[in-house]
Amino acid sequence: MDNYVKEISTKSEKSIVNSVMKNVFALMTLALAATGAISYIVSNNIQILKAILENQPLFWGLIIGELVLVIVLSAMINRISFTTALILFAIYSVMNGVTLAPLFIVFTAESIASAFFVTAGTFGAMAIFGYITKFDLSGIGKILIMALFGLIIASIVNIFLASSQMEMIINYAGVLIFTGLTAYDTQKIKNLVQENINNDNIIPKLSVIGSLTLYLDFINLFLKLLKLMGKRK
């Protein structure tokens, strides 16, 4: 009898985890759709596009604003409401769409579409792997996070060096890092849901912070692949 009750409880826990993870990927997909739509609309509006490209304070203000939103969401997720977290995520996805709009001017539409589908396939495969694997990815995740910091430093240095060779190395490294982080972050989110499965206050907010994490993995993987695969106009 005890084994039967335990089995029912385990099944119930799995169904809750599956449901939350579905919400995570659904929110991420909606955010990506919003980013893509805003980016396309802005790229076709000459006045808005000129205002962004010609006004450096505005452009960097948007970039800094995005960083602030990510920091606020990550650091204060336990102190803000689910609705607030959702609104902040929505604002971030819209702002990101605005800052990514110049991509439609630089790269051909075919290149952007190709990079997107390659990103979606790679991301999907790694997310499934991270979700179903029994192997603990935390050790690999720590290495990838350290590598990410190195990648950021190298990218900043290359702003001044303007080395095309270094940029190519950074892009290839970025593809490997964000591909690995997709699997690691998926497993990490799943584990967090399991650890907080009885906390009705945290679980909904985990779906927001989880979708933001995977959204960032997707966007960064897409950008690195686009720079490697993309044909410029």
Using a cut of 0.85, tell me whether the model's pTM lies above it: yes
**pLDDT tens profile 123-159:** 999 999 999 999 999 999 999 999 999 999 999 999 8
All residues at 6 or more sequence positions from 184 whose CB lies less than 8 Å from its CB, including other chains: 130, 137, 138, 140, 141, 144
Ranges under pLDDT 70 in the chain: 1-11
Q: Could you give the number of structural domains in the chain? A: 1
> For residue 10, what pLDDT is reported?
52
**3-class state of residue 80 by DSSP:** coil
| Cα 110 from Cα 141, distance rounded (Å) | 33
One-letter-per-residue 3-state SS of the chain: CHHHHHHHHHHHHHHHHHHHHHHHHHHHHHHHHHHHHHHHHHHCCHHHHHHHHHCHHHHHHHHHHHHHHHHHHHHHCCCCCHHHHHHHHHHHHHHHHHHHCCHHHHECHHHHHHHHHHHHHHHHHHHHHHHHCCCCCHHHHHHHHHHHHHHHHHHHHHHHHCCHHHHHHHHHHHHHHHHHHHHHHHHHHHHHHHHCCCCCCHHHHHHHHHHHHHHHHHHHHHHHHHHHHCCEC
User: Looking at residue 135, what DSSP letter applies?
Assistant: S
CA distance linking residue 89 with residue 103, whole number of Å: 22
Concatenated DSSP letters of 34-67: HHHHHHHHHHT-HHHHHHHHH-HHHHHHHHHHHH
**pLDDT at site 113:** 94
Please give the Cα distance from 232 to 111 (Å, whole number): 8
- Give 80-105 pLDDT, tens digit per residue: 889 999 999 999 999 999 999 999 98
The answer to whether the beta carbons of residues 213 and 185 sit under 8 Å apart is yes
Longest CA–CA separation in the chain, Å: 71
Phi-psi region of 45 (alpha: psi -120 to 50; beta: other; left: phi over 0): beta
Domain that holds residue 169: 2-229
pLDDT of residue 4: 33
Q: CA-to-CA distance for 79 and 217, rounded, in angstroms?
A: 24
Helix axes 56-76, 46-54, angle to 10 degrees: 90
